[in-house]
A = this chain, B = another copy of it.
Amino acid sequence: MIKDLIERMLKGDKKATARLITLVENDEEKAREIVKKIYPFTGKAYIVGITGPPGSGKSTLLDKLIKKARQEGKIVGVIAIDPTSPFTGGALLGDRIRMQRHSTDPGVFIRSMATRGSLGGLAKATNDAIKVLDAYGCDVIFVETVGVGQIEVDIVKTADTVVLVTVPGLGDDIQAIKAGLMEIADIFVINKADKEEADKTLFELELMLDLEREKFEKRGWRPKVIKTVATLNKGIDELWSVIKEHEKWLKSADKLKEKRRFRAEEEVKTIVSDFIVSKVSKELKNNELYELVGKVANRELDPYTAAELIMEKTLGVKV
């Protein structure tokens, strides 16, 4: 059945592709089987991460970028990480609905993924979904995350080009969050730049970047700052061409290879960690180990000693 789905996907069947993503998202065993089979067909898609605080207009911006990519005849994949939950059933956001109109375009594949489940789970599921879209034939895959937490950082970090969207005149903690993302962003977008404080924000950003001049010189790429008004389609052409400029630089400087090696290493480690945790979780249902955890809860045993005992018993690993 998976073999059949993959064959259909490789022929460009959207339904089969959607089904495969659902499988990698929900079934660890099947994810393994699918990724093993499709991996040789991956590596062609260029991955653009888009992140930023809530309300910065990322989805509208993305909507315009999809249009640009389509005008160039590119096959486009979109993975939108939704901050919804099993509690609400995962309602689509307003902006997302607008973006969905591209869904009827056979050259665009849009997929929402919910932040339910574990931390590592989402990052891994996103990674696997990227592979499916890559094998499907996408030339460019946009990964959009709403939110500004560490998990979003971890997800966009896996992108080839990271676009950080902000808006003029946000409060103190947004500034701090932006700082936290500064080192991973390749391009800064000041969206809603028709607002009064846009130039002040631009100035501040450039100043922050100037302070790190040496670091960027060493790296070879100083993040660009672009003003846009996504709703009015302003600045989109420039943003798109800077994304391509960054891609060109990455490729010429052999940085893409380096980035992808790093990503491969992270991925392998995540798989190892997930496997071990799932194995340990299963074994913790066994009486003896269950009691061990009870002792930790009652402060009769510290968690490190418990972890050591559990590793020894379930994995045969001595600390």
Task: State the A residues within 8 Å of B (CB).
Answer: 32, 35-36, 39-40, 42-43, 53-55, 82-88, 91, 93-95, 115, 119-120, 122, 146-152, 154, 170-174, 176-177, 179-183, 208, 212, 257, 260-261, 263-265, 267-269, 271-273, 275-277, 279-281, 284, 292-294, 296-297, 299, 302-307, 310-311, 315-317, 319
In the complex, chain B residues whose CB is within 8 Å of the CB of A277: 269, 272-273
**A39, B303: Cα distance in complex, Å:** 8
User: Which of B181, B212, B303, B315 makes the CB contact (< 8 A) with A267?
Assistant: B303
List 24 A-B pairs, Cβ < 8 Å.
A35-B302, A35-B304, A39-B299, A39-B302, A54-B171, A54-B173, A83-B148, A83-B180, A88-B176, A88-B180, A88-B182, A91-B176, A93-B173, A119-B154, A120-B120, A147-B148, A264-B294, A268-B293, A268-B307, A269-B281, A271-B304, A272-B307, A276-B311, A316-B317
**A293, B271: Cα distance in complex, Å:** 13
**A261, B181: Cα distance in complex, Å:** 35
In the complex, chain B residues whose CB is within 8 Å of the CB of A148: 54, 83, 147-149
Main SS at interface, chain A: helix
Closest Cβ neighbor of A262 among chain B residues:
B297
Q: How far is the CB of A317 from chain B (nearest CB, A)?
A: 6
Does A84 lie within 8 Å of B180, measured CB to CB? yes
Q: How far is the CB of A179 from chain B (nearest CB, A)?
A: 4
Q: How far is the CB of A305 from chain B (nearest CB, A)?
A: 6
Does A293 lie within 8 Å of B273, measured CB to CB? no
In the complex, chain B residues whose CB is within 8 Å of the CB of A276: 272-273, 276, 311, 315, 317
In the complex, chain B residues whose CB is within 8 Å of the CB of A297: 257, 260-261, 263-264
In the complex, chain B residues whose CB is within 8 Å of the CB of A146: 173, 176-177
Closest Cβ neighbor of A145 among chain B residues:
B149
